Amino acid sequence: MSGEGHGERVPGQIKIVQEAGLGYTLTVKREDLFKAALGLKEAGFDMFMFVSGVDYPDTIKLRYRLYSTKRKNKLNIFLKTEVPKSDPVVDSLTPIWPSANWHERETYDLFGVKFRGHPDMRRIFMPDDFVGHPLRKDYKDDHMLVKEEFIQGTVIKGYGEDNSK
Amino acid sequence: MGQEMSKIEEAKNLTQNQILEELEEQLRVEEIEEQPDAIKTEEMVINFGPQHPSAHGVFRALFHVNGEIVTKIEPMIGYLHRCFEKIAENRTYAQFVPFTDRMDYVSSMHNNWAYVMTVEKLAGIQVPERAEYIRVIVGELQRIASHLLFLSTAGLEAGAVSPLQYYFDERERILNLFEKVCGARLTYNYIKIGGVRADLPDGWLEEALSFVNRLKKTIVDYDKLLLGNYIFKKRMKGAGKISAEIALAQGLTGPPLRSTGVAYDVRKSDPYSVYPRFDFEVAVRFQGDNYDRVVIRSEEIKQSLRIIEQAIEQIPDGRILPMSLPKDIKPPVGEAFGHIESSRGDLGYFIVSDGSLKPYRLKIQGPSFANLQGFPAMAEGSYFADVVLTLGTLDPVFGEVDR
Amino acid sequence: MGIAKEQQLGNGILLTKAGDLINWSRKNSLWWLGFGLACCAIDTIMMVNAPRFDLDRFGIMPRGTPRQSDLMLVAGTVTKKMAPMVKQLYEQMPEPKYVIALGSCAINGGPFYYDSYTVVRGVDQIIPVDVYVPGCPPRPEAVIHGIEMLKKKIMARGKID
């Protein structure tokens, strides 16, 4: 599969690795994401299932899941890439698969990753005037009550000394 | 006199449906051609609010309407966003199982199963055989219960009020069975990491078998009541049509995709648990309209009954939890993805673990979210009354859309 | 006092207070507006009106619009995005109106009490509630018990309002 037209489109080393929990995965740099996705579409992957962000201290990793209803083997593939937090921009895949629309809006809403070329980049779950990106690890606001210790007793932040509100 | 007698006999031979079809033929009115520029019309924007008797939950949409035809639909979601993914980062793996019930609340066993399957993949836990068979029986019963609810609301959307009473009667029997096994009617928390929470009580399998035998006969009658009805067919056929290419491009899964001819069912394409041992078929239709989406779910009920029968026959005795189940589940560092075929489509969980007791990131792939994205493509250009029907046949559950 | 007078006047005459009569008629025909938001909506609103736990025999009927209903059943989690709609629909209902909060999420936020940035902890932070029915989700029998408590509360109102 790695020889089907990929080598000409994507510069550099690309190799499809089989991991234990995920199956087949392909890791690319963020500049090569669009070309790799185009190559995968031609190889028969016609369904875009989801994109998910994972928040790390300096980077946000993105995981795309693609599925094929036409191929005979290797039906499921994960595309992995990484985006630095100082400049969280990556190419949008909506020109290739229209179903990437709402998934990329969700990743923008919850993580703050902007997708270049997306037709409608705005929030989807939170109201439009919301400030912040909730699923980042360093997100805090007044409304959340964080449950701190849950194994040895319970200490609840935001409560008074006598456990009154 | 002789002529009248033969006419009466002829009329008695025709069934009700044929009489109505004949009358329609004779009463058909020629369509009037519209004169261009005769009356000036404007488009109107109607708000289909988040609280609505037939919105299937909290869904808001703006319809741009020109006369009776809907030209543009702008859906807005997020009114039930309950932050499951953030909550998951602060709970242990076992503590999160009751939360998964509340996502797709009409078929909770499937949610439990998908999450538990992914954690078992990540942590390398083997599930005993009896537990796998119990999961299959309970999962298929849940699929039947969810489809019975869908069929009654599909009837309500089209104006048929009586099927609800019959289908809910059958659904109450399934909920009785579930109550005997785990004590709850809607959110079960029954499938546990490693197996199931409690073994089946005595006499449960016989009761399930008698329910299956009863439903096999009654579903045929109920189908004639709802799906064979002339008005229902007229309203549903031809409305909300979508082709296979557009369906794949929009990312639909589950019964809406199978109604366009693409046979993607996770139970056959990527088998999990003990499904390879059963003999069943995947229901596929080819027109892609509302009627096909309703008929497919009725077919799936019949296939589920087949699977339950075979599973009840084959179920072995044994343990329901593995011998070496750790007290605190600490999977190794890594990522895993597991998916099942729920009653709405391809339900998947993506979990990233950092070696501690709590997951680092948990992402839920909900089929209703993907199906709802294809709703404008299906319903634009049709009459206003058909748009609500199309939304109904997609069967969205907003706990899963908004997570 | 009342019984002796009624026996004097003959069959078919009942002596009572106007307030009692009006309250009796109100409690026996509650028309509800279903505010079903989440999981509780399936078990407490849909299944309670289904054949087994029939609510229609108490005179309780669904109405799709707040302008014609006097009972609001709030079932499910209220989020910050949805809260203005709850308030708006409550204000559109004509007096006298009653609110039943069904399920843990409507009482105090339920399982989403901690670690959630959008859930409103209880619907009584937005509108006044008459009866609370606990459970996650509550059984249909519990919902019927809650409605019985509401009927007692209606009868206990002393004056005509």
Q: Does any CB of chain C come closer than 8 Å to the CB of residue A137?
A: no
Instruction: Report d(CA B278, CA B280) in Å as an integer.
Output: 6
Instruction: Give CA angle at B330 (B329, B332), nearest 5°.
Output: 140
pLDDT confidence of residue A1: 38
Instruction: Report d(CA C84, CA B314) in Å as an integer.
Output: 54
Q: Is the pLDDT confidence value at B259 over 60?
A: yes
Q: A144 vs C115: CB contact, 8 Å cut-off?
A: yes
Can the peptide bond before residue C137 be classed as cis, meaning omega within 30 degrees of 0? yes
The one-letter amino acid code at B380 reads E
Q: Strand runs (DSSP E) across chain C, as ranges?
A: 31-36, 61-62, 71-75, 98-102, 131-133
Q: Is the pLDDT confidence value at A165 over 80?
A: no
Instruction: Report d(CA B335, CA B223) in Å as an integer.
Output: 45
Give strand pairing partners of B338. Answer: B349
The one-letter amino acid code at B126 reads Q
Q: Is the pLDDT confidence value at B311 over 90?
A: yes
pLDDT confidence of residue B6: 63
pLDDT bracket for residue C1 (50, 70, 90): very low
Could you give phi then psi for residue B64, rounded to 5 degrees? -90, 115
Of B26 and B49, more confident: B49
For B204-214, what is each residue's pLDDT tens digit? 999 999 999 99
Of B328 and C128, more confident: C128
For C25-82, what is each residue's pLDDT tens digit? 888 888 988 888 888 888 888 887 778 888 888 888 888 788 999 899 999 899 999 8
Q: Is the pLDDT confidence value at B110 over 80?
A: yes
Instruction: Report d(CA B115, CA B103) in Å as an integer.
Output: 12
Instruction: Report d(CA B268, CA B271) in Å as an integer.
Output: 5
Q: C117 vs A146: CB contact, 8 Å cut-off?
A: no
pLDDT confidence of residue B15: 63
Q: Which residues of B touch C55 (CB under 8 A)?
A: none
Which H or E run includes B98? helix B97-101
- The ipTM assigned to this model is 0.85
Range scoring the smallest mean pLDDT among B12-26, B52-66, B69-83:
B12-26
Q: Which residues of A touch C117 (CB under 8 A)?
A: 134, 139, 141, 143-144
For chain B, give every domain's residue range: 2-76, 84-402
Give A114-121's long-range contacts (Cβ < 8 A, gap of 24+).
A114/A88, A114/A89, A114/A90, A115/A89, A115/A90, A115/A91, A116/A89, A116/A90, A116/A91, A116/A92, A117/A91, A117/A92, A118/A92, A118/A94, A119/A94
Q: Is the pLDDT confidence value at B223 over 60?
A: yes
Q: Is the pLDDT confidence value at B31 over 60?
A: no
pTM: predicted TM-score of the whole model, two decimal places: 0.87
Rounded to an integer, the average pLDDT of B82-95 is 88
Q: Is the pLDDT confidence value at B297 over 80?
A: yes
Q: Is the pLDDT confidence value at C158 over 60?
A: no
User: Max Cα separation, chain B?
Assistant: 92
Domains of chain A as residue ranges with CATH: 11-131 (3.30.460.80)
Instruction: Report d(CA B196, CA B190) in Å as an integer.
Output: 6
pLDDT confidence of residue A13: 58
pLDDT confidence of residue B112: 92
Q: Which fold has domain B84-402?
A: Cytochrome-c3 Hydrogenase; chain B (1.10.645)
Q: C113 vs A145: CB contact, 8 Å cut-off?
A: yes
Range scoring the smallest mean pLDDT among A138-152, B128-142, B308-322:
A138-152
Range scoring the smallest mean pLDDT among B7-11, B169-173, B396-400:
B7-11
Tokens of B383: 């009459």
Q: Is the pLDDT confidence value at A125 over 60?
A: yes
pLDDT confidence of residue A16: 78
Rounded to an integer, the average pLDDT of B70-86 is 90
Shortest Cα–Cα distance, A126 to chain C (Å): 8
For B143-171, what is each residue's pLDDT tens digit? 999 999 999 888 888 888 888 888 988 99
Q: Is the pLDDT confidence value at C23 over 70?
A: yes
Can the peptide bond before residue A119 be classed as cis, meaning omega within 30 degrees of 0? no
3-state secondary structure of B71: strand
Subunits adjacent to chain C (3 or more Cβ pairs under 8 Å): A, B
Average pLDDT, chain B: 87
8 Å CB contact between B102 and B399: yes
Instruction: Write the DSSP string, B320-349.
Output: SS-TT--SS--PPSEEEEEEEEETTEEEEE
How many other C-beta atoms lie within 10 A of the C-beta of residue A135? 23
Residue with tokens 């939890």: B321
Average pLDDT, chain C: 85
Q: Which residues of C touch A127 (CB under 8 A)?
A: 80-81
Q: C114 vs A145: CB contact, 8 Å cut-off?
A: yes
Of B52 and A110, more confident: A110
